């Protein structure tokens, strides 16, 4: 899909090989066994191993990429997407309502997980969504804002959106994120390197002797025993490393923490006998806990782009990295001075209520009222209605929660056409924050190396598609307003011949995809509402299995999720250590 990335890959100039086992093997038994060393797993590994009397094991399927320039240099953003060393590259099951398309779901593999390959955008949901216990770190914010390179293609961003009625937000991390702003990124400002979950949470403490990290180690199953108190207990974790089947025992006081991400966590629960009997029994899996919420009701934000050619070919954008001469010089500048295009981050963000997108409060209210009526009269369970009505009330709190995100990406970032050599582009992306549609992730095999069936459920609710169609029309307004009018030339994708709602819908379905923010495959909710984990993040019906990762979020949030998830993992560590109670 992202064509410039394949060319950037050829620029890889450094490769280090790492031993599979890091740290010293200090025990055959551990207090905490963390499955998956991604964003959540690394955060937990750091916090739980702060107590020297506790031993921690992390089992991670991918490698340790601490000296990998393709990961570390910000300007390589996107270049590792699709590379199977660093990306699981899941694909979805075709569904009729999205034209039977197969969408690729990239997910990071290796210590740091998806933070190794993501776009480093740092955001925070609106105050109304999250209880406000956040203290702004002024110093950290200043450092995070140290963006040494902003493409001139993004400069009209704030003034154009102001003209279209979108207010400028000084600090989008304050709990008010409805408006337009230049966003911070997870870049280490001193070194101008990607700050991922491994470099931030693991590298500085990797010498702790009570922390063992196994890489190239893929967990296939948790062995579950009946417990004494009616709850079942994990007794062993089984994994493959270097072609060898290995196990680690879970002792009486120990815990297993699943941090394998939104796709693999439900798969591992199901393989271990925790899930919906209708899924497990046909595969011959012994049901240890009947938990119908596992893998059900996932919610994925959907996005697509609209690309424009720039009228001025001298403006530097990420398109310049397709030019190997330019890229080599930019890399030299980066290595010598830590400046230039390779320090770039995606900066131009905005979040808008539906009324801004469709052009009037009246029209927005009509759409919202029709959807509210459909939910009231529809064939939904009580729990589904509660979730859908939460989105309705978010839509009605216009001005406090943004329903649609539009990002200005400095380069060609659409899939219908290909970029041309020497030309420069600006792409606006439309990102639906609160889809009504839901899908599922379930196993189809007892073999843990067979990827589960992902049914994303895109557009099972028409409202989602209607909003995305309206957003394309809004983006066309952005492109012809103020400073963008002179800067932008032809619309490349979808192209001005695409005008009718049905043609726009086809474009969205065929050339859009996941925004990589899927939640809800092991939701923290009451069990009768489809929940999988308790407020302590313990899997219902078990006494020593927790989930700490994107799977537990029961609802979407109006932000790129990293900051929220680091917060979830920090809080989870405190809960597990007994520092705080829920």
Ligand X SMILES: *[C@@H]1O[C@H](CO)[C@@H](O)[C@H](O)[C@H]1NC(C)=O
Ligand Y SMILES: Cc1cc2nc3c(=O)[nH]c(=O)nc-3n(C[C@H](O)[C@H](O)[C@H](O)COP(=O)(O)OP(=O)(O)OC[C@H]3O[C@@H](n4cnc5c(N)ncnc54)[C@H](O)[C@@H]3O)c2cc1C
Q: What residues form the annotated binding site for FAD?
A: 219
Q: Does 47 bind ligand Y (CB under 6 A)?
A: no
Identify whether 168 is a catalytic site residue.
Answer: no
Span 66-85, contacts to ligand Y by CB under 6 A: 81
Nearest-angstrom CA–CA distance, 85 and 79: 12
Nearest-angstrom CA–CA distance, 506 and 452: 27
Query: Pattern of binders to ligand X over 342-371, x per CB under 6 A?
Result: ------------------------------
Provide the 8-state DSSP code for 101: P
- Return the one option of ligand X, ligand Y, none that residue 264 interacts with (CB less than 5 to 8 A, by type): ligand Y
How many residues in the shown chain lie near ligand Y by CB under 6 A?
Answer: 41
371 CB burial (10 A radius; 0-12, 13-18, 19+): buried
- Contacting residue, 108, 216, 512, 530, with ligand Y by CB under 6 A: 108
Strands 211-214 and 21-22: antiparallel
Number of H helices, E strands in the chain: 16, 25
Span 263-282, contacts to ligand Y by CB under 6 A: 264, 268
- Contacting residue, 290, 365, 389, 510, with ligand X by CB under 6 A: 290
Smallest Cα–Cα separation from 542: which of 251, 284, 236, 274? Answer: 274
Smallest Cα–Cα separation from 130: which of 427, 479, 558? Answer: 558
- Contacting residue, 34, 117, 200, 523, with ligand Y by CB under 6 A: 117
CB of 569 to ligand Y, least distance (A): 7
Q: Does 189 bind ligand X (CB under 6 A)?
A: yes
Of 112-120, 380-388, 407-415, 571-579, which segment contacts ligand Y by CB under 6 A?
A: 112-120
Q: Does 259 bind ligand Y (CB under 6 A)?
A: yes
As beta bridge partners, residue 351 has 179, 405
- Residue 569 Cα to chain centre, angstroms: 15
Span 386-415, contacts to ligand X by CB under 6 A: none
Give whole-number Cα distances, 562 to 44, 79, 81, in Å: 14, 20, 18
- Return the one option of ligand Y, ligand X, none that residue 562 interacts with (CB less than 5 to 8 A, by type): ligand Y
Q: Does 229 bind ligand X (CB under 6 A)?
A: yes
Q: Does 115 bind ligand Y (CB under 6 A)?
A: yes
- Contacting residue, 1, 16, 27, 140, with ligand X by CB under 6 A: 16
- Return the one option of ligand X, ligand Y, none that residue 538 interacts with (CB less than 5 to 8 A, by type): ligand X
Q: Which residues contact 411 (CB under 8 A, 6 or more apart)?
A: 4, 151, 317, 318, 319, 424, 425, 426, 427
Nearest 5°: the CA angle 288, 552, 53 is 80
Identify whether 560 is a catalytic site residue.
Answer: yes
Q: Does 83 bind ligand X (CB under 6 A)?
A: yes
CB neighbourhood size of 466 (10 A): 18
- Contacting residue, 8, 33, 39, 487, with ligand Y by CB under 6 A: 39
Strands 302-310 and 90-91: unpaired
Catalytic residues: 517, 560
**What is the binding site for ligand X (CB under 6 A)?**
9, 12, 15-16, 18, 28, 64, 66-68, 70, 80, 83, 85-86, 96, 99-100, 142-143, 146, 152, 189-190, 229-231, 247, 249, 277, 290, 292, 312, 314-315, 323, 325-326, 332-333, 336-337, 379, 421-422, 538, 543
């Amino acid at each position: 899909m992202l064509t410039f990335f394949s060319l950037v890959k050829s620029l890889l100039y450094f490769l280090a090989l790492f031993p599979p086992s890091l740290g010293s093997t200090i025990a055959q038994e551990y207090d905490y066994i963390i499955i998956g060393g991604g964003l959540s797993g690394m955060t937990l590994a750091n916090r739980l191993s702060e107590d020297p009397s506790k031993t921690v094991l992390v089992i991670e399927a991918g490698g340790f990429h601490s000296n990998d320039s393709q990961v570390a240099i910000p300007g390589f953003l996107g270049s590792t997407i699709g590379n199977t060393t660093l990306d699981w590259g899941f694909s979805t099951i075709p569904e009729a309502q999205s034209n039977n398309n197969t969408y690729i779901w990239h997910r990071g593999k290796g210590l740091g997980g998806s933070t190794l390959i993501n776009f480093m955008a740092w955001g925070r949901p609106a105050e109304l969504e999250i209880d406000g216990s956040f203290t702004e770190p002024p110093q950290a914010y200043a450092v995070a804002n140290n963006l040494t390179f902003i493409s001139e293609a993004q400069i009209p961003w704030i003034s154009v959106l102001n003209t279209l009625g979108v207010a400028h937000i000084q600090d989008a991390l304050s709990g008010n994120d409805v408006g337009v702003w230049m966003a911070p990124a997870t870049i280490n400002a001193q070194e101008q390197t990607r700050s991922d979950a491994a470099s931030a949470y693991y590298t500085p403490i990797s010498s702790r002797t009570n922390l063992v990290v196994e890489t190239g180690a893929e967990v296939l199953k948790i062995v579950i025993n009946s417990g004494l108190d009616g709850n079942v207990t994990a007794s062993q974790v089984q994994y493959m490393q270097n072609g060898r089947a290995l196990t680690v025992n879970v002792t009486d006081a120990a815990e297993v923490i699943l941090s394998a991400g939104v796709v693999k966590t439900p798969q591992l629960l199901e393989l271990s006998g925790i899930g919906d009997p209708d899924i497990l029994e046909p595969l011959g899996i012994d049901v240890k806990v009947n938990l119908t919420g596992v893998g059900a009701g996932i919610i994925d934000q959907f996005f697509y782009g609209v690309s424009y050619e720039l009228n001025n070919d001298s403006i530097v954008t990420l398109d310049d990295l397709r030019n190997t001469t330019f890229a080599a010089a930019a890399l030299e500048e980066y290595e010598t001075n830590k400046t230039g295009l390779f320090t770039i981050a995606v900066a131009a963000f905005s979040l808008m209520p539906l009324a801004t997108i469709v052009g009037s409060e009246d029209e927005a209210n009509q759409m919202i009222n029709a959807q509210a009526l459909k939910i009231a009269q529809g064939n939904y369970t009580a729990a589904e209605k509660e979730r859908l009505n939460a989105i309705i009330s978010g839509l009605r709190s216009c001005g406090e929660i943004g329903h649609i995100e539009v990002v200005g990406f400095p380069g060609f970032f659409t899939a219908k056409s290909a970029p041309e050599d020497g030309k420069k582009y600006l792409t606006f992306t439309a990102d639906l924050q609160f889809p009504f549609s839901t899908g599922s992730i379930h196993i189809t095999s007892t073999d843990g190396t067979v990827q589960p069936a992902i049914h994303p459920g895109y557009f099972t609710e028409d409202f989602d598609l209607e909003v995305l169609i309206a957003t394309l029309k809004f983006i066309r307004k952005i492109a012809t307003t103020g400073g963008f009018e002179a800067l932008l030339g032809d619309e490349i994708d979808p192209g001005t011949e695409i005008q009718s709602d049905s043609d726009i819908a086809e474009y969205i379905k065929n050339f859009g995809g996941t925004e990589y923010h899927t939640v809800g495959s092991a939701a923290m909710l009451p069990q009768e509402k489809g929940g999988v984990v308790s407020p302590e993040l313990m899997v219902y019906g078990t006494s020593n299995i927790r989930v700490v990762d994107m799977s537990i979020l029961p609802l979407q949030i109006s932000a790129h999720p990293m900051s929220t998830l680091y917060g979830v993992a920090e809080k989870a560590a405190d809960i597990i250590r007994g520092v705080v109670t829920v």
